[in-house]
Chain A
Amino acid sequence: AQTVTQSQPEMSVQEAETVTLSCTYDTSESDYYLFWYKQPPSRQMILVIRQEAYKQQNATENRFSVNFQKAAKSFSLKISDSQLGDAAMYFCAYGLAGAQKLVFGQGTRLTINP
Chain B
Amino acid sequence: DGGITQSPKYLFRKEGQNVTLSCEQNLNHDAMYWYRQDPGQGLRLIYYSQIVNDFQKGDIAEGYSVSREKKESFPLTVTSAQKNPTAFYLCASSQQDYSNQPQHFGDGTRLSIL
Contact = CB atoms under 8 A, between A and B. Distances in A.
A43 B113 CA distance: 20
Contacts, number: 60
A100 B107 contact: no
B1 to A, nearest CB: 13
B40 interface: yes
B105 interface: yes
A96 interface: yes
B64 interface: no
Interface residues on B, range: 20 to 34
Nearest to A9: B40
B99 A91 contact: no
B6 to A, nearest CB: 10
Interface of B: 31, 33, 40-45, 48, 50, 56, 58, 88, 90, 92, 97-100, 102-108
